[in-house]
């Protein structure tokens, strides 16, 4: 009857609330997570611990087939306190959700490796502190570089054999090489199969356009000391926002590179973000956009290489070791500050586990 209207809220089921911090640390909650977290979920938790923060689009590129499936699963992980999230402020429009490791997720990672959460070096307030860190945009940019390569791995591996074999964060690089240089990341790319297999590893310098070009060039001195200390030449890839910025950076880099004692020990290549072709499915730095730096004038017009073909630009470059978990620069001794870090987990795989099939209910 029109006089006895049913209220809309009575027709809706109860919406699940988020677990409290106390409940998320309980034994019962951990037992519940044991039956619900998939291999892909745990891989994502390890990725968040290693790389601090990932956006919703980066997580989708790395592990999910669609935006809808990513949002649904991340909502569940958020309600279980496996992940936490925040939304940075923007003057115009709104930013997407940014995700960090949550307290329940940290407890799962620690338990998997036989550690206490404090031994993991995790604190929830520190994890959320990236929301106010001045390097948030830089961290997001570095992670976007590598997650685009993971997306290309997922969709092109069957046809081309391309794959991101390793990805180290800035924190992990600092532990191994921090007394000489701190790269923004370390990666290894693989293409081809069997006899045509090609691999290249590199240290990444991600430029957002805020540093002076002179400072960008001076970083090569640290890589030269690292190469001298280890006896191994590892390419340095410099990613810049525009081709105009790239031209200026190449001038600064060429000036410093030519003055090194052994320039061949520090192979350098540059690329610019505006060279990415938006018409290509899953555009990534694996495309033909890398310009090696030589002792030639900075305005020398040379061919741009695909990421997998870069070793051809440096004929004397030794191939990387067979184990992608260990960079060519080796287990370099670090200073006492870095060595005291509680960061003990191995780097997560660069390729996510396959999604768990939907469960079928048994018929009675």
Which band of pLDDT confidence, cut at 50, 70 and 90, is reported for residue 337? Answer: very low
* CA geometry: angle 215, 219, 221, nearest 5 deg: 125
β-partners of residue 198 are 191
- The string of DSSP letters for 266-324 reads S-EEEEEGGGS-TTSSS--TTSS-BEEE-SS-TT-----B-GGGGGGG-TTPPPPPS-T
pLDDT digits (tens, 9 = 90+) for 17-54: 777 777 777 889 999 999 999 999 999 999 999 999 99
Q: Is the pLDDT of residue 349 over 50?
A: yes
pLDDT confidence of residue 362: 45
Q: Is the pLDDT of residue 335 over 50?
A: no
CB within 8 A of 12, min separation 6: which ones?
Answer: none
pLDDT confidence of residue 339: 35
Q: Is the pLDDT of residue 271 over 80?
A: yes
pLDDT digits (tens, 9 = 90+) for 133-191: 999 999 999 999 999 999 998 887 666 778 999 999 999 999 999 999 999 999 999 98
Q: Is the pLDDT of residue 299 over 70?
A: no
* Phi–psi pair at 251, nearest 5 degrees: -65, -45
pLDDT confidence of residue 59: 96
Domain segments of the chain as ranges: 18-132, 136-339
pLDDT confidence of residue 315: 87
pLDDT confidence of residue 296: 45
Which band of pLDDT confidence, cut at 50, 70 and 90, is reported for residue 327? Answer: low
Give the whole-number percent of the chain exceeding pLDDT 70.
Answer: 83
Q: Which residue has the higher pLDDT, 169 or 333?
A: 169
Give the CATH number of domain 18-132; options: 1.20.1260.10, 1.10.10.920, 1.10.10.10, 2.70.98.40. Answer: 1.10.10.10
| Rounded-to-integer distance, Cα 45 and Cα 53, Å | 11
């Amino acid at each position: 009857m029109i006089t006895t209207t049913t209220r809309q809220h009575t027709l809706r089921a109860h919406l699940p609330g988020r677990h409290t911090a106390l409940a998320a640390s309980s034994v019962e909650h951990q037992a519940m997570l044991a039956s619900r977290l998939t291999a892909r979920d745990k891989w994502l938790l390890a990725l968040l611990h290693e790389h601090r923060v990932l956006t919703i689009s980066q997580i989708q590129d790395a592990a999910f087939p669609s935006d809808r499936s990513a949002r649904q699963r991340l909502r569940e992980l958020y309600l279980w306190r496996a992940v936490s999230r925040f939304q940075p402020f923007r003057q115009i429009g709104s930013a997407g959700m940014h995700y960090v490791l949550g307290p329940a997720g940290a407890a799962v990672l620690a338990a998997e490796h036989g550690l206490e959460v404090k031994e993991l070096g995790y604190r929830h307030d520190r994890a959320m502190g990236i929301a106010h860190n001045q390097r948030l945009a830089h961290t997001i940019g570095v992670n976007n570089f590598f997650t685009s390569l993971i997306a290309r791995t997922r969709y092109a591996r069957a046809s081309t054999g391309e794959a991101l074999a390793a990805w180290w964060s800035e924190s992990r690089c600092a532990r191994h090489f921090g007394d000489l240089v701190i790269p923004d990341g370390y990666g290894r790319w693989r293409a081809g199969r069997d006899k045509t297999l090609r691999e290249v590893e590199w240290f990444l310098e991600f430029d957002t356009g805020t540093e002076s070009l002179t400072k960008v060039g001076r970083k090569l001195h640290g890589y030269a000391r690292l190469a001298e200390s280890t006896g191994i030449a590892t390419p340095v890839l410099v990613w810049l926002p525009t081709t105009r910025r790239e031209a200026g950076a190449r001038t600064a880099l060429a000036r410093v590179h030519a003055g090194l004692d052994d320039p061949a020990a520090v192979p350098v290549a540059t690329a610019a973000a505006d060279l990415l072709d938006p018409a290509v499915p899953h555009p990534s730095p694996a495309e033909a956009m890398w310009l090696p730096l030589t002792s030639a004038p900075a305005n020398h017009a040379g061919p741009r290489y695909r990421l997998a073909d870069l070793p051809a630009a440096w004929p004397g470059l030794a191939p990387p070791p067979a184990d992608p978990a260990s960079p060519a620069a080796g287990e370099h001794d670090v200073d006492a500050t870095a060595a005291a870090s509680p960061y003990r987990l191995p780097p997560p795989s660069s390729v996510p586990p396959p999604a768990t099939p939907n469960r079928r209910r048994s018929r009675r």
